[in-house]
Amino acid sequence: MKKILLASALLTSSVLMPVVAADYVIDTKGAHASINFQASHLGYSVLAGRFNEFSGNFSYDKDNIAASKVTVTIDTSSFDSNHAKRDKHVRSDDFLDVSKYAQATFVSNKVEDKGNGKLTITGDFTMHGVSKPLIIDAVKIGEGSDPWGGYRAGFSGTATIAMADFGFKKDFGKVDLILHIEGIRQ
C-alpha cells in the first residue's frame, strides 16, 4: 500500500510541476553554429565575414517561449574577413581594439513568440566597452534527436548594429549580423 501511495504522490507531483525550459550549449565544437556579418565597403560592394571563436548557451521551451534566455560571448580577436591585412586593421584600435576589448557579449532579457516559429529576441549587446539594446529577428529551424543520442534545437536570426553606437574611431555605418545557432540539450 505504501508503494502505491508513493507512486501516486510522485506521479501527481510530476504532473503538477511546471515545465522548465531545457538548457542547451551552442555547438561550436561541431561547427554547427556561426556568427557572420556583412557591411557596406565604401558604398561599392559588401564585405562579409565571421567571428570564428564564440561560446554560449540558451534555455528554450516551445510551450513557454517567454521563459527562453540566450547568452553569447564572442572572442573579438577571431574577426575573419578572409583578408589578413584587413583583419589586422579591424582588430586594431581604429575598430574593435581587441587588445583592450577582448570580448563582445549578448545577454537576452526578453523573448517573444511571433507565431509560425518566428521569435523576437531582445537583449543587451556589449562591444568595445559599450552596451546597447539589440533586437534579433529569429526563426526556429527545428529540434529533435540527433544520431549520437543527444537532442538539438536550431535557430537562425538577423540583427543590425550601427558602428557609431559603439564608439569606433572609424565608422563605416551599419553592420548586419547573420546568426545560425544549433544547441545541444544538456
| Full pLDDT tens readout for the chain, 186 residues | 444 444 444 444 444 444 568 999 999 999 999 999 999 988 899 999 999 999 999 999 999 999 999 999 999 999 999 999 999 999 999 999 999 999 999 999 999 999 999 999 999 999 999 999 999 999 999 999 999 999 999 999 999 999 999 998 888 889 999 999 999 999
d(CA 81, CA 37): 9
Nearest to 138 by CA among 156, 161, 126: 156
Nearest to 14 by CA among 3, 6, 24, 23: 6
Cα distances (Å, whole numbers) of residue 95 to 4, 48, 111, 184: 67, 16, 30, 33
Cα distances (Å, whole numbers) of residue 77 to 12, 25, 89, 139, 170: 52, 22, 11, 28, 18
d(CA 120, CA 110): 8
Judge if pTM exceeds 0.95: no
17-52: b or e for each residue (b if 16 or more CB lie within 10 Å)? eeeebbebebbbeeebbbbebbbeeeeeeebebbbe
Cell numbers describing residue 91: 582588430
Cell numbers describing residue 42: 565604401
